[in-house]
Amino acid sequence: MASVTDWCYMTAIRFGLRLRVAMAMSLACLLVVGALGFTLFTASEELEDSLLVQLVDEEMDFLIKRHQENPAYLPQPSSNLQGYIARDARELARLPDYLRQLAPGRHELFVGKDEIHILVSEKSGVRYYVAYEVGLYEQREQEFKLLVLVSVLTAALVSLALGYWLSGLLVHQVAELADRVGTLKPAQIHEALTQPGQDPEVAMLARAFDRYQKNIESLIQREQEFTANASHELRTPLTAIRTSCELLLADAGLAEKARARVVMINDAAARMTEQIQILLFLARGQSLGEVEPVVVADCVAEAAKPYLGEIARKGLAFGLAVARDAVVEVNYHALRLALSNLIRNAVQYTERGSVRIEFDARRLRISDSGRGISVENLPHVFERHFRGDTLDEGAGIGLAIVKRICEQHGWRIEVESTLLQGSTFSLVFP
Delineate the domains of the chain, giving CATH numbers in brackets: 24-153 (no CATH), 184-286 (1.10.287), 288-428 (3.30.565.10)
Residue by residue, what is the 3-state secondary structure of the chain?
CCCHHHHHHHHHHHCCHHHHHHHHHHHHHHHHHHHHHHHHHHHHHHHHHHHHHHHHHHHHHHHHHHHHHCCCCCCCCCCCEEEEEECCHHHHHCCCHHHHCCCCEEEEEEECCEEEEEEEEEECCEEEEEEEECHHHHHHHHHHHHHHHHHHHHHHHHHHHHHHHHHHHHHHHHHHHHHHHHCCCCCCCCCCCCCCCCCHHHHHHHHHHHHHHHHHHHHHHHHHHHHHHHHHHHHHHHHHHHHHHHHHHCCCCCCHHHHHHHHHHHHHHHHHHHHHHHHHHHHHCCCCCCCEEEEHHHHHHHHHHHHHHHHHHHCCEEEEECCCCCEEEECHHHHHHHHHHHHHHHHHCCCCCEEEEEEECCEEEEEECCCCCCCCCHHHCCCCCCCCCCCCCCCCCHHHHHHHHHHHHCCEEEEEEECCCEEEEEEECC
Summarised one tens digit per residue, pLDDT across range 163-198 is 777 777 667 777 788 787 877 776 666 778 887 877
Return the closest-CA partner of residue 85 out of 135, 29, 27, 124. Answer: 124
Q: What is the pTM of this model?
A: 0.49
62 phi and psi angles, rounded to 5 deg: -65, -40
- Mean pLDDT, rounded, for 16-45: 76
pLDDT band for position 1 (50/70/90)? Answer: very low
Checking if the pLDDT of 12 tops 50, the result is no
Query: Rounded mean pLDDT of 339-359?
Result: 93
The pLDDT > 70 percentage for the chain reads: 87
Q: Reading across the β-sheet that carries 114-123, which strands appear in turn?
A: 81-86, 126-133, 114-123, 105-111
Q: Looking at the predicted structure, is the pLDDT value of residue 24 above 80? A: no
Q: Could you report the per-residue pLDDT of 119-128, keeping only the tens digit for each?
A: 999 888 889 9
